[in-house]
Amino acid sequence: MRRFIFYSLLFMAFSSILSGCGGGGGSAGTTTASTDVALPVAIAGANQSVYTGTPITLEGNASYDQEGKPLSYAWSLTSKPIGSSAAISNVSSINAMLIPDIAGDYTVQLIVNNGKYSSGSDTMVVSAVETGSNRIPVANAGEYQSVPVGTTVTLDGAGSFDPDGDQLTYKWSFVSGPDWSSTTQKNLTKVNANITSDLAGCYTMQLIVNDGSADSKPDTIEVTNLANGSNHPPIARAGDNQIITIGSQVMLDGSNSYDPDNDQLTYFWYLSSQPAGSSAYIVNTNSVTTNFIPDIVGSYYIYLIVKDGSIASEVATTKVTVTGTTGISSPTVSTFTIPATSSSLTVSITQFTATDAVGVSGYTVTESSTAPLASASGWTAYAPTSYTFASEGNKTLYAWAKNAAGLVSTSKSASIVITLTSANSVVKTITGYFKISVSSSAGAAVQIHNVTIQLYNDNSWSSVDNISAGSTNPSSGSSTSNDNGTYLIDSSGNNDAYISKEANGAVFIGTTQFMAEFPNNTTTATAGIWLTSLGTVLFSPSGCNLFLGNTTLIRASSCSFTIN
């Protein structure tokens, strides 16, 4: 969007101030200026890139009137994807809302009115994709610059970002400049490009960023080259946004404003927008530092303009959010969903949205139900789209949001069952009873011992337990059960140790349920290793037999078997 705007100093009569880019305008390049009337200026805000179903706050607070008059706002949706039924809510408010319902681009327009005259229109684009898809990056070409002819200007694209956290590449290009001018452009594929021009006038450069999959919408910056000896416009700095409780004094500080020519500055502060019914006012509007006391809960937008004696600066904006006497409320996590099952440790976060009166400033997910500190690591500016667990099993994730005041929400949780399947094996359902015995005479009491349980972690097997199952009476008998399902290992009483669906008796491997996993088309399990979704069970007595019905699957120390 266009970023070059010259403003008349509020409440003062200026002689005509000529800017290199046409003398005034809006951030989208569609606002027009008049030599007879000081029109208000609409600024619709930066482009946004989101998932469908995500509520988008449209902020018109950067809009202003050149004579300090209060503004009314008119938001409209000038284009949207075919089939979309999305609409803007609160169209007459300084902050409106849009919820994109299908993937595509939504063009939002803002026009402001000062009670007599309307501004030109300004537009921004909301790009929406389906949840889990790649969100396009957002380009930010930086702020307007004014320099003497022949000065090398450094363009700054560091404000560009990717909502998914992907690495960006940069592509700068020349758009326009004065007739007959010549420019030298360097580093056009880096975050900081350079341009040097030979004639006075306005030069427009464009930035597009790419996240490896998609280009951003273009963003432009305008650079004014002034003839040598010309006066450079000053730069206003209104200070950081603030959050306070009602009745507290708000301090405003414009001391970081400056003039490139070191000219002395004059200051003008004004409240551009305040809650309905508020009678708050700025105590000294012409001081470098000043204050006001808000009287109603809500948002206050303050503008600062500085003048070097001849030229006014761009408007600088700061926002003061005022909360009730009970203090600032925490954000609310509205939605949070993940799949019910996964065969991978990395799972998709299909939905994660949060709201806050002040504004959500960070998102995170944890496996702990204990709220993280706002200062802890792991917070991101955008909701994460995936999470990687360290191990399989039944898992629960907790979603959190924080606001600019440092308050953390209560969590919203979602659960998932992760079952890993190795590339060379298939999961099969056990049918019938398995019986385990040793090669000994029927009826003789023997020990089944040294049953080692191993779990698979970090691509290796680790022994976690070694137990003795106790005495058993081996038997050649078998079961005729054909029930499919999940089975237990049971060694109750002096009976054979067997796998069954009964839950009574001693649990042989320290777990209540498991599924058996066998190598696909494999006939021998080395050293009697029996794969399960929990890991492996290694039977290592002097001899071992595993029966399925009347069929011996594991015999003696070789423990060979076939599963089809």
Amino acid identity of 7?
A: Y
Q: Phi-psi category of 142—alpha, beta or left, where left has phi over 0 and alpha has psi -120 to 50? A: left
Q: What is the CATH number of the domain that holds 374?
A: 2.60.40.10
Q: Which residue has the higher pLDDT, 309 or 125?
A: 125
Angle at 248 between CA 243 and CA 254, to 5 degrees: 65
pLDDT tens digit sequence for 54-97: 888 898 888 888 777 788 999 999 999 999 999 999 999 888 99
Claim: this prediction has a pTM higher than 0.75: no
Do residues 410 and 457 share a domain? no
Do residues 413 and 430 share a domain? no
Distances 253 to 242, 273, 316, 398, 542 between C-alpha atoms, Å: 12, 18, 12, 40, 84
- Could you list the residue range(s) of the whole structural domain that residue 437 is in? 425-554
Is 50 within a domain? no
Do residues 372 and 493 share a domain? no
Do residues 438 and 532 share a domain? yes
Q: Phi-psi category of 145—alpha, beta or left, where left has phi over 0 and alpha has psi -120 to 50? A: beta
| 239's tokens | 């200070």
d(CA 156, CA 221): 10
In eight-state DSSP terms, residue 487 is: B
Domain stop point among 323, 343, 371: 323
Is 358 within a domain? yes
Strand segments, DSSP code E, in 137-249 are 145-148, 152-156, 169-176, 183-186, 192-197, 201-210, 219-226, 242-245
d(CA 165, CA 493): 59
The answer for residues whose C-beta is within 8 angstroms of residue 525's C-beta and 6 or more apart is: 518, 519, 531, 554, 559, 560, 561
The pLDDT score that the predictor gives to residue 316 is 86
Burial of 116 (0-12, 13-18, 19+ CB in 10 A): exposed
Do residues 393 and 451 share a domain? no
> Average pLDDT of 149-169?
89
Domain stop point among 303, 323, 343: 323
The pLDDT score that the predictor gives to residue 396 is 94
Is 166 within a domain? no
Q: Which residue has the higher pLDDT, 272 or 238?
A: 238
Number of domains observed in the structure of the chain: 3
Would you say 205 and 175 are in contact if contact means Cβ atoms under 8 Å apart? yes
Domain stop point among 267, 291, 323: 323
Nearest one of 270, 277, 269 to 246, comparing CA atoms: 277
d(CA 559, CA 522): 12
Is 46 within a domain? no
d(CA 187, CA 49): 27
Do residues 298 and 340 share a domain? no
pLDDT tens digit sequence for 295-332: 888 889 899 999 998 888 888 889 898 877 555 678 89
The pLDDT score that the predictor gives to residue 378 is 85
DSSP string, 395-448: EEEEEEEEETTS-BPPPEEEEEEE----TTEEE--EES-EEEE-SS-TT--EEE
Half-sphere exposure of 161 (CA within 13 A, CB side): 12
pLDDT tens digit sequence for 201-235: 899 999 999 999 999 999 999 888 877 777 888 88
